[in-house]
Structure 1
Amino acid sequence: MKVLHVIPSLSPKLGGPTHVVLNLVKALVKRGVEAEVATTNDDGADLLDVPLYQRTEYQDIPVWFLPRFSPPLKEFIFSSAITTWMWKNVRNYDVLDNHYLFSYAPTLAGFVARRQRIPYTVRTMGQLTPWALAQSRIKKQIYSTLIEHNTLTKAAAIHCTAKDESVDVRRFGIETPTATIPLGVDSPIAQPDAKPRLCSKYKISESRFVVLFLSRLHYKKRPDLLLQSVHQLVQNGKDLHLLMAGTGDENYISELQSLTKKLQLGNRVTFTGFVQGTDKDLLLQGSDVFVLPSFSENFGIAVAEALAAGLPVITTPGVQISPEITAAHAGLVVDGDKEQVSQAIQSLIDNPKLRQDLSRSGKQLAQQRYSWDAIAKQLAEVYKLIIQHRRLPHDVLF
């Protein structure tokens, strides 16, 4: 079974989407699936320093990188080279797995696959939530009418990562069968004495309660709301420190830094920049609570990583695994306003036992639901059904 994953970019700056594709393909390869990736050399405003026009091993998985048209057209990421490559090579695969909507490479892949009678799946990645569709609404309505509705309707299956995402698909008017399979997270490497080491690294008093935001710095994820919530808690006499871990648009980061200064939180907020590996594990194991107050997340990979590390989480209903978190008593799900986020953080500051209970339940949920190996096995089963029937015969929920 030979499967091609198509994604506009593998830039580390994209955060979750890149992390997911790399780990998903790696897990599929371990299970004996001949999985490869076709993408561009996009790296935001820059270009990845990678070999082009050849199959190369990139972070332990086989990838075909094609040159991106410069300058980038935001998320659309046009590439004439990938057009030529697709027409020549798509016929060599049994299934295509396309990641993203409203972007050139996966849209093209679906079109070519239909012409060459190769079945394909689509992972919508939260782009059909009401909030996401409201962004650049007119452009998306036109694009959907002309292109994307047909892409989704003629797909062999739509890969959803949470029940709410499959609801969004139906709300969009698509009746294509869905395969609801969660995403996975890496098991963290244990970091002894994590809290003292974290505080030493970032020059924080060990007595302070450490709040972690670990995600792309983007207005959708509402780091500004978290800053305002922390300010309110400090005004109420709480001794805490916020670690803002992640990268994003430079102008938006400057806005967040200006807000930090305006709120007089300069000595209580640290912008760490992009983190990975043991530095990331240290953040997840040394902090006291993880907060992601997003407007919208199709899954919330950073939330799942915090659960796996045993870090209590606070998130919002817009994160589509929030019903699973609530059902498992693995975190606090609150409305995305300053008062409720502040109250949730305060409840964890004041109640160590609650933190312990959430930590234990969060680890259990991650171990039971978010294993990359189990997810690769489930997805391989979906691929086999598609190859056998040319289309997923019915909705599948794992």
Structure 2
Amino acid sequence: MRVLHVVTHHSPDHVFGGPTRVALNLCRALRTAGDEAAVLTVGEGFEGDLPREVDGVPVKLFPARRLIPGFGFAGITSPSLLARAGGLVRSADVVHVHLARDLVTFPVALLALLGGRPLVLQTHGMIDPTRVPAARLADALGVRRVLRGADMLLHLTDADRLGVASVTAPRLPARSRRLVNGVARQEHRRPPRSERGGPPVVLFLARLEDRKRPADLIAAVPAVRAVHPDARFVLAGAETGGLAARLTAHAERLGVADAVDIVGPRDHAGVMSLMRSADVYVLPSTFDPFPVSALEALSVGLPAVVTATNGLAPDVLRAGAGRVVAGIDGDAGFAGHPGAPLPAARGARPGDGATDGNGALIAAAVLELLEPSANEAASVAAHGLVAERFTIDAVADRLRELYAEVLALHA
């Protein structure tokens, strides 16, 4: 089976984040199972020729052009990609588009729909109700048509599914199936925190942007250091909007700049190395449907602190793989423990990179997980959770079943 995965953007620092990583992970697993799978996208930030392979996966990269300034990834396209897309779509048995309202994935999805090719869409929470005029225009010009016409829509969570359904209303998508994200099996990081020695390490590893709320971790540093004066706080990931400088200034205002290391993006091997060397992973994001970075942390047995608006929060809570803090407002007042009911998420507010946000709640959760017995119990639970429910091999097997269902429609 020839499968073409289409995603918005790829760069050496992986600034586009989760959808590209998901596409690469799925393609690698599909190829291991004997299928021909490749990724089609635009490339930006590379020195010299664009690569033809990323992490063992064949990629068809075309030079990115920022057509609409100020629109971020939605304003990026590639005339050369669009010129070649028709032939690439026709040569695939299944076209799997990681759809956003942009000038890469949407045109390719439309080509597949108009050409009658088997079309699977996966939205990663990127298609939801909006009042943004440009996004509403994109829906009217064809995004809604693609969503309604696809052979299958894949959703990560119920919120993801309902978001898409609200865009396609009053007609609902005919075939919507859940497909979670998955990661490779990893050995459990050893020895446990109680035996490793050295200062505790708290890790934020995701794109540095306001929506991910790294400032909330900075706000938690003073309270954690009051108990663990030697604790280190590592923030890793590609930067957008000059946030690193604002985070550094915020740490300086709080008097904790000496404890904070902002280390920039890492390749996949570097990511896993940071995960294995940390004691607690923190992702205080406003909204994350099913973050691969959190799955990778859990996969090595790194306990996680996440917000209730994270799609993994119910699983983390039930398994005892970390802690869940509710909401974005500083007075949300909840720390999740295994067996506790999952709280309703509070409304998100815009981040300015320098507010206290959920700092107090995050500090309390981190301090709990730095206790040796709690850390070891959550570590074992985290590793077991991914091994039992979120391995990429199991996800790829499920995806191949869904592809067969789509191909049967075109038989």
* Length-normalised TM-score, structure 2: 0.83
Q: Does 1:270 align with 2:261?
A: yes
The aligned amino acid for 2:82 is T
The sequence identity of aligned pairs, in percent, is 25
Q: Secondary structure at the match of 2:257?
A: coil
Q: Secondary structure at the match of 1:212?
A: strand
Distance in 2 (CA, whole Å) between partners of 1:193 and 1:170 is 46
Q: 1:185 aligns with which of 183, 186, 201?
A: 183
Q: Secondary structure at the match of 1:149?
A: helix
The aligned amino acid for 1:147 is G
Note closer, same or farther for the CA distance 1:321–1:191 as it changes in structure 2 (3 Å cut): closer
Distance in 1 (CA, whole Å) between partners of 2:6 and 2:47 is 17
Q: 2:298 aligns with which of 277, 285, 307?
A: 307
Aligned residue number for residue 6 of structure 2: 6
Matches within 5 A, 1:104-119: 104-119=103-118
Distance in 2 (CA, whole Å) between partners of 1:191 and 1:278 is 15
Aligned residue number for residue 64 of structure 1: 60
Distance in 1 (CA, whole Å) between partners of 2:398 and 2:126 is 23
Cα pair 1:40 1:66 within 8 Å, conserved = yes
Note closer, same or farther for the CA distance 1:346–1:93 as it changes in structure 2 (3 Å cut): same
Aligned residue number for residue 286 of structure 2: 295
Q: How far 1:6 sits from its partner (Å)?
A: 1.0
Cα pair 1:123 1:158 within 8 Å, conserved = yes
Note closer, same or farther for the CA distance 1:279–1:189 as it changes in structure 2 (3 Å cut): farther
Q: Secondary structure at the match of 1:63?
A: strand
Q: How far 1:71 sits from its partner (Å)?
A: 6.4
Q: How far 1:268 sits from its partner (Å)?
A: 0.8
Contiguous gaps of at least 5 residues in structure 1:
199-205, 392-398
Cα pair 1:195 1:285 within 8 Å, conserved = no
The aligned amino acid for 2:360 is E
Q: Does 1:344 align with 2:365?
A: yes
Q: 1:23 aligns with which of 22, 25, 33?
A: 25
Cα pair 2:101 2:127 within 8 Å, conserved = no
Aligned residue number for residue 140 of structure 1: 135
Matches within 5 A, 1:1-398: 1-11=1-11, 12-41=14-43, 43=44, 46-47=45-46, 49-51=48-50, 56-70=52-66, 73=69, 74-76=72-74, 77-128=76-127, 133=130, 137-173=132-168, 175-176=172-173, 177-188=175-186, 207-234=198-225, 236-239=226-229, 240-249=231-240, 251-335=242-326, 336=328, 337-349=358-370, 351-390=371-410
Q: How far 1:195 sits from its partner (Å)?
A: 7.3
Cα pair 1:194 1:285 within 8 Å, conserved = no
Q: Secondary structure at the match of 1:270?
A: strand
Distance in 1 (CA, whole Å) between partners of 2:246 and 2:100 is 28
Distance in 1 (CA, whole Å) between partners of 2:264 and 2:284 is 19
Contiguous gaps of at least 5 residues in structure 2:
329-357
Distance in 2 (CA, whole Å) between partners of 1:324 and 1:168 is 21
Aligned residue number for residue 345 of structure 2: none
Q: How far 1:154 sits from its partner (Å)?
A: 1.0
Note closer, same or farther for the CA distance 1:106–1:48 as it changes in structure 2 (3 Å cut): farther
Distance in 2 (CA, whole Å) between partners of 1:51 and 1:286 is 32
> C-alpha offsets along residues 36-83 of structure 1, whole Å, 9 cap, x if unaligned?
222122x2xx3464359xxx4443222222222256752121111122
Note closer, same or farther for the CA distance 1:58–1:362 as it changes in structure 2 (3 Å cut): closer
Cα pair 1:33 1:380 within 8 Å, conserved = no
- The more displaced of 143-152 and 302-311 is 143-152
Cα pair 1:162 1:321 within 8 Å, conserved = no
- The more displaced of 151-160 and 322-331 is 322-331
Distance in 1 (CA, whole Å) between partners of 2:116 and 2:7 is 20
The aligned amino acid for 1:357 is A
Cα pair 2:64 2:77 within 8 Å, conserved = yes
Q: How far 1:138 sits from its partner (Å)?
A: 2.6
- Total equivalences in the alignment: 372
Note closer, same or farther for the CA distance 1:389–1:280 as it changes in structure 2 (3 Å cut): same
Cα pair 1:126 1:296 within 8 Å, conserved = no
- The more displaced of 179-188 and 150-159 is 179-188
Q: How far 1:166 sits from its partner (Å)?
A: 2.2
* Length-normalised TM-score, structure 1: 0.85
Note closer, same or farther for the CA distance 1:272–1:72 as it changes in structure 2 (3 Å cut): farther
Q: How far 1:129 sits from its partner (Å)?
A: 5.2
Distance in 1 (CA, whole Å) between partners of 2:122 and 2:158 is 14
